[in-house]
Structure 1
Amino acid sequence: MNVIETHGLTKRYRRRLAVDNLDLTVAAGDIYGFVGKNGAGKSTAMKLVAGLARPTAGEVVLFGDPERGGATPQGLSRIGALIDGPGVLPSLSARDNLVAKALALGLRHAGDVADDLLALVGLSETGPKRVKGFSLGMRQRLGLALALVGSPDLLLLDEPFNGLDPEATRAMRLALVRLNHERGVTIMISSHVLDQLDRLSTRFGVISAGRLTAEFTDEELHERCSSSVRLRAAGPERALALLEQALPTASFRAEPDGALVVTGSSLDAVSAACFAAGIEVRELSQQERDIEEYFVELMDAGERGGEAR
């Protein structure tokens, strides 16, 4: 089942088109990494899904049911969101903020709910300290805890790693993975910290100029960015012909400087094939395609209206 589906979702602010005919899907159990540059439309799209903004055109379907799960109270009540920073009561403690929200939602044992969530996000030791004295990272963690009040089935997080130091970032990431694995919470998360998204996301969507330019799984991402072998040889045309015969399952790409890039074969296999064919090797190295570079290519291609390789 898809927890989120958008169909032709569009949002215009006067002359600016923030979200343009967006079609995306987030399946139950996904940790969906939503990637895009500043101003690409990530936050606006998430606000539309959360019911915090009205679309100019198109629709959002939540939990696979357009009648009961669309932008209705029934569907929206199953969502927790941290978008555009946490909404907190600065004169209260973290615990009191959580208790206040739990009571507003009509939850029983509000104090126990608050204590469990403080432990989950690492704020148990803040005691009576008022939120106005919190650092940005502490506010982010409190925002996550507030989004989790009521045990939502879907969590929408916009830049949750902002202001977190490496230790807090790791704790946040592990908490999200636990929520997904142990409680079955589906998570849609946007972030500029691509290495963190890569470590936790199971699927990705790339948005550029308000349009979705690509969707793919974690496995597909790593397959596209898998290691390759760079080869410089005397007589590159002859080397290419011989290697295509010796390595029929591999793919080959000629670089402008005359080097060959071989994917789908190991360094040892390419080296052995060169030796067996009598190819004079001048350079042989293994290289990894940078994941961040690949995402930037997709975003740039979306702005140009093309596709990245």
Structure 2
Amino acid sequence: MTADSLLPYARLPHAYRNRDVLHSTVDAFGRAHWLVRDSPPPREPYDALVVTVEDGHPHETHLNSVRSRFPLLGALPDGGFVVADIRRRPGEEQVQVFDTSGRTSGTFTVGDAVEHLLTDESGDLWVGHFDEGTFDDPLSEPGVRCWSSTGAPLWEYGRPSGTDRIVECYALNVDRRATWVYPYPDFPLVEVRSGRPAFVRGTPVRGAHGVVVHGTSVAFFGGYDDQHDRLVLGTLTGIGVDPVAESRLLRPDGIPLGSRYDRRVVSRGSRLYVQEKPYTEWMVFALD
């Protein structure tokens, strides 16, 4: 089987690597962000630091009184941030919105069992859930929803005729003009565009954890067991996806990737960002 290599993209500066990396993401504008705090972890709430790297240059934003035990980080276009707890605790609002000075400007909840949190260029939050939420929490039940940065519900997945419900959102791609959803159990590729009904294409790919799209080209990354580093390239058709090639995705130095349980994946349009433990470096595969 052929192989493709990731390219180096962004690194957390060494000055911050003695701190706990709580989460990291790449935003809609290509900026890399790390949420870090002092170790050992203090009690809640705690102060944290967002380190943003853009074009190789770091920038700090101090966040005051973060409450999330298992945080996910999202960046807002005005320079603020959202931090959401993966789990929803009864009686608490799990999402904190921070302004550019790092102070909480709002709170709300988006439902339990958050698998993906991606903000778009307008600052809206796209949230994908795993099965403990889709079965047990009415807010999470649709599987994928979009919220404003003030907590207003904007969109939720409505099961098209002839398709199964979303049990778990395996991959979520939030781009400038479209959002792509790849859910379990049937693993279709769902195209979401403003003002249009969701469009569902069947796929032959099972268990991927990243998906990128460029024009009519698509790539699925990951899979079960020994397919954890699989890259399936395909072409979008009117009703489905036709696979055209399969390869393995390697690190920039040619070394195989480790377990899917020890990495993060962010899908943004035609770009797939991959990060492995200790989560201090982002690598990228560009479909375009």
Q: Verify same fold: TM over 0.5.
A: no
User: TM-score, normalising length from structure 1?
Assistant: 0.28
Normalising by structure 2, report the TM-score: 0.29
Q: Hey, which of these two has a bigger chunk of strand by percent? A: 2
Higher RCO (CA 8 Å, separation ≥ 6 residues) = 1
More helix by share: 1
